[in-house]
Amino acid sequence: MLAIGKRKYVREKPYPPRKVKTVNEAVELLKKYPYVFIFDLHGLSARVLNEYRYRIRPYGVIKIIKPTLFKIAFSKVYGGISTDIAEKIRGEIGFLFTDINPAEMIKIVAEKSVRRAAKPGDKAPFDIVVPAGPTNASPGPIISKFGKLKIPTRVQEGKIWIAKDTVVAKAGQEITAEIAEVLRVVGIEPIFEQLRLVGVLWKGKRYVDISELVIDVSKYRELFEVAAAHARNLALNVVYPTREVLQVVLPVAHMRAVALAAKLGVVTRETLPVLLSRAVAEANALAAAVAAKAPDLGITVAAPQTVAQQPAQHAEAPKEETKEEEKKEGPSEEEIAGSLASLF
C-alpha cells in the first residue's frame, strides 16, 4: 500500500555565500562561548547598538543573526535544537556571546548603558534640570515652548539664554513632546538605554529566563547579615573556639570562675579582695550584734569605709608618707584576728 504524506522540502540551489559565512561565524562563536544572551532589537537605535558593541568588546561579542541561520548553526554545534529553545529564537532579536557568568554579565550590561536623547513617552530617571546659561538655539517658535514649561529666558547675542536653573521633569514623570524638544535644543540626554536582555542559552543545554538571573544585591546583603548574626549566636552558645567567640566567652568565664572561687573561699590574687571585704563585713555585723546586747564590753563598730570615701590626698602623697599613714590608720591583720577572738 502506498503511503501518502507531506512532501519533504529539499533545497536544490546552493545557499548564498553571505548566509554560509554567517552560519560559519555563528558556529565558531557557539564553540568559543558557552553562554549566549538573547536581547530584543525592537526599537533599539543603531547608535545605541554600535555603542554597546564597542563597550562590550572586552566581555563578549554582539552579533545580529537571523533566527533561521542561528538555528542552523546551533544544530551543527550541539547536534540539534530542542523545542523550548527553538521557540525563543524568533522575531527581532540579537545575540550576545560571552564566557562570563550570566549573573555577572547582566550587571556589566546595566553598567554599560548608553545615554540618549529623551523621547515622548519616556520616564524621567531623575529630576531633569535645565541649567542657566546660553543655548545654541536662535530666537523663534521654540521660545513659546520654553515659556510653556515656565523656563525663564532672554535673547542675548542672537541666542536664547536661560535665566536660571529650572526643573522640567520630576523623577518618574512622563516626558512630553515639548519637554523632549526643549531638552534636545539645550543638548541634554537624560535617558540611559541598555540592551533589553530576554534570556540566555546556557551551554547549549537549556534556556534560562532573564528574571531568574537578576540578583537583588540589597536583599542578599540582608540575608547574609541575618545568617551571620545567627551563626554568631550559635557559636557563642556552643563555645566554638574562634577569635570572635573567645573574645566574648573568656571574660565571662573568668568572671564566673572568680565568683565561684570567692564563694568557695579559694584564696587567689583575684579573690583575696572579695574575701577580705566579706570577712570585714561579717566581723562588723557580728560586732554590732554583740555590742547591742552587751554594752559593758565597750565594743565599737566603725562605719565601713570604701575606696571612694578615702581622702584624695592619700593618693597624691609620697610613697613613704602613705606607708606611714597606713600603719597609723586602722588595725593590722593580727589585731583584727585578736579582736575577733576576744568576742568568744
| pLDDT tens-digit readout, 203-233 | 988 999 998 888 777 888 899 999 989 998 8
Residues 138 and 179 in one domain: yes
- Look at residue 29 and tell me if it is in a domain: yes
User: Is residue 249 over pLDDT 90?
Assistant: no
CATH number at residue 32: 3.30.70.1730
The predicted pLDDT at position 10 comes to 66
Which of 156, 49, 142 lies closest to 95 in space, CA to CA? Answer: 49
Residue partners of 183: CB distance under 8 A and separation at least 6: 117, 118, 128, 130, 168, 175, 189, 190
- Give the range among 106-110, 180-184, 306-310 with minimum mean pLDDT: 306-310
The predicted pLDDT at position 26 comes to 94
User: Is residue 7 over pLDDT 80?
Assistant: no
| pLDDT, average across residues 36-48 | 91
Burial class (CB in 10 A: 0-12, 13-18, 19+), 106: buried
- Look at residue 318 and tell me if it is in a domain: no
**Residue finishing a domain among 215, 248, 282:** 215
DSSP 174: B
The predicted pLDDT at position 325 comes to 47
Residues 25 and 106 in one domain: yes
Residues 202 and 99 in one domain: yes
Residues 42 and 55 in one domain: yes
Tally of domains in the chain: 3
The predicted pLDDT at position 238 comes to 84
> What is the DSSP pairing of strand 159-162 with strand 153-156?
antiparallel
pLDDT band at 263 (very low <50, low <70, confident <90, very high): confident
Residues 207 and 228 in one domain: no
The predicted pLDDT at position 11 comes to 66
User: Is residue 312 over pLDDT 60?
Assistant: no
Residues 207 and 60 in one domain: yes
**Residue finishing a domain among 166, 181, 215:** 215
CATH number at residue 141: 3.90.105.20
The predicted pLDDT at position 99 comes to 94
Residues 187 and 198 in one domain: no
Q: Rounded mean pLDDT of the chain? A: 81
Residues 51 and 137 in one domain: no
* Residue-range definition of the domain harbouring residue 98: 17-113+194-215
**Residue finishing a domain among 247, 275, 290:** 290
Cell of 228: 551571620
- Look at residue 106 and tell me if it is in a domain: yes
Residues 109 and 201 in one domain: yes
Residues 90 and 205 in one domain: yes
Q: Give the C-alpha distances (Å, rounded to integers) separating 203 from 20, 36, 66, 288.
A: 23, 8, 20, 91
- Higher model confidence: residue 8 or residue 134? 134
User: Is residue 63 over pLDDT 70?
Assistant: yes
- Look at residue 302 and tell me if it is in a domain: no
User: Is residue 336 over pLDDT 70?
Assistant: no
- Higher model confidence: residue 309 or residue 192? 192
- Look at residue 161 and tell me if it is in a domain: yes
- Look at residue 199 and tell me if it is in a domain: yes
The predicted pLDDT at position 309 comes to 43
- Look at residue 304 and tell me if it is in a domain: no
The predicted pLDDT at position 218 comes to 81
Residues 185 and 202 in one domain: no
Residues 132 and 241 in one domain: no
Asked whether the beta carbons of 220 and 211 are under 8 A apart, the reply is no
Q: Give the C-alpha distances (Å, rounded to integers) separating 254 from 48, 117, 246, 257.
A: 67, 69, 11, 5
User: Is residue 340 over pLDDT 60?
Assistant: no
| pLDDT, average across residues 253-269 | 85
The predicted pLDDT at position 27 comes to 95
pLDDT digits (tens, 9 = 90+) for 69-128: 999 999 999 999 999 999 999 999 999 999 999 989 999 998 998 888 888 888 888 898
pLDDT digits (tens, 9 = 90+) for 267-305: 888 888 888 888 888 888 888 887 777 777 667 766 655
